Amino acid sequence: MDELITIDDLSFGYGSSSLHKNINMKFSRGKVSAIMGGSGCGKTTILKLIAGQLIPKSGKVIVDGQIVHEQDRDGIYNVRRKMGMLFQHGALFTDLSVYENVAFPMREHTNLPENIIKDLVLLKLNAVGLRGAQKKMPSELSGGMARRVALARAIALDPDIIMYDEPFAGLDPISMAVICDLIRSLNDALGATSIIVTHDVAETFSFADYIYFLADGKIAAEGTPKQLLASRLPFVRQFIHSEKDGPVPFHVEAPSYKVDLQL
């Protein structure tokens, strides 16, 4: 089976509100896929559903043949053992050094001896170019360096699935280019399935294999970067070309001023 993750006819919402409506997605082994869309469209929520943090109202998320929300506690942890996560802004442990941050998941989820953990930590840090920063604290790192340490931690256990939540947020152009290259090269080296949640068009289109656009709770468009760049769909064109006028309005729907002012 080429698809490691399948989202099948999934609907989700909070309370009476509906966020996702009958969504279908597939994420293939060895590929880098992206989920794009405007702020608040539920991109990060998809990652939480894949990780079993949230339960769909209907439909299902299947990871490596397992329906995630049907798993018991042990089953969920077994599913999550296959995943690495790069959180938005890195989310490093501020009281732990760079070395200890990367070693943390190894100590938490394995019984490896310290000498093996040391070799693995240095290997992961070397892969992201930061072996020389192993003794530094997070407060001593730039934003780009912190994101690379977080990436080293995300791949600490050689996961089958790597999920990235806004990996480019707040980065300068050089750091952004470095992270793009690392996401692609690490995915290919590990043979992993990578999922990126982002709204950064140029960076994502430069290396992703497949992209989903979310809008109004549905898949508004999907395809390869080449296919989407050629798309004539108004929403896709507005998003890709950063146009202020289009299907996504500037103003939130509201009554007239007279009604609001009670005139």
**Nearest C-alpha neighbor of 29 from the set 191, 208, 204, 207:** 191
pLDDT at 245 over 60: no
pLDDT of residue 251: 52
pLDDT at 35 over 90: yes
pLDDT of residue 252: 59
Q: How far is CA 95 from the centre of its chain?
A: 25
Give the model confidence (pLDDT) of 246-260 as tens digits: 555 545 567 777 777
pLDDT of residue 242: 60
pLDDT of residue 25: 95
Q: How far is CA 29 from the centre of its chain?
A: 16
Give the model confidence (pLDDT) of 166-207 as tens digits: 888 777 888 888 888 888 988 988 889 999 998 888 888 889
pLDDT of residue 13: 85
pLDDT of residue 247: 53
Stretch 28-35: mean pLDDT, rounded? 92
Q: pLDDT above 90 covers what percent of the chain?
A: 34
Task: Please give the Cα distance from 214 to 218 (Å, whole number).
Answer: 6
pLDDT of residue 40: 76
Task: Tell me the β-bridge partners of 7.
Answer: 25, 61
Q: Higher pLDDT residue, 229 or 250?
A: 229
Q: What is the mean pLDDT of the chain?
A: 86
DSSP the chain: --EEEEEEEEEE-STT--SEEEEEEEEETT-EEEEEESTTSSHHHHHHHHTTSS--SEEEEEETTEEGGG--HHHHHHHHTTEEEEBTTB---TTS-HHHHHHHHHHHH----HHHHHHHHHHHHHHTT-GGGTT--GGGS-HHHHHHHHHHHHTTT--SEEEEESTTTT--HHHHHHHHHHHHHHHHHHT-EEEEEE--HHHHHTT-SEEEEEETTEEEEEE-HHHHHT---HHHHHHHTT-SSSSS-SSPP---HHHHTT-
Residues ≥6 apart with Cβ < 8 Å to 227: none
pLDDT of residue 246: 55
- Which pLDDT band, with edges at 50, 70 and 90, does 96 fall under? very high
Query: What domains appear along the chain, each with residue ranges and CATH number?
Result: 3-82+159-260 (3.40.50.300), 100-157 (no CATH)
Stretch 206-220: mean pLDDT, rounded? 89
Give the model confidence (pLDDT) of 133-164 as tens digits: 999 999 998 888 888 898 899 888 888 999 99
Stretch 58-77: mean pLDDT, rounded? 90
* pTM of the complete model beyond 0.75: yes
